[in-house]
Amino acid sequence: MLHKLYHDHLKKGHPFASGLKEGDSIQAGDVIGYLGMTGYSSKENTNNIQIPHLHFGLQIIFDEKQKDGINQIWIDVYNIVNLLEKNKMPVEKNTNGTDYQRTKKINNIVTD
């Protein structure tokens, strides 16, 4: 089984943490990408957004041949977002001045 993470509207020109590539392992709290202000919408007052934001989703793939087919399984990420909100990780700028890294390891996950 594969998991596919969809994300959009990342920072233009520097969307991902330096050195991160597809297939890399990450740990809770690792910085993987940066919020951006890209994108557009047909909804009134949402074009040329001036607030950093992110669109993301999670897809479960049981058969690689079906990942773009009509039987896609997308996960409602509402509960995941709530879990992440309760377990925010402080970050700090790296010495290169363009990337961030977490400042500590997560010892206990808050679930309720």
At 34 the pLDDT is 84
pLDDT digits (tens, 9 = 90+) for 39-67: 665 565 555 667 777 777 787 777 777 66
Query: DSSP letter at 53?
Result: B
Please report, as a single letter, which amino acid is at residue 59: Q
At 95 the pLDDT is 85
Determine what percent of the chain falls in helix, strand and coil, rounding each to the nearest 5: 10, 25, 65
pLDDT digits (tens, 9 = 90+) for 76-112: 888 888 887 887 778 888 888 888 888 877 776 666 7
Q: How confident is the model at residue 32 (pLDDT cuts 50, 70, 90)?
A: confident
CB 84 within 8 A of CB 28: no
Query: DSSP letter at 89?
Result: -
CA distance 31 to 98: 12
Tell me the sheet residues that pair with 101: 92
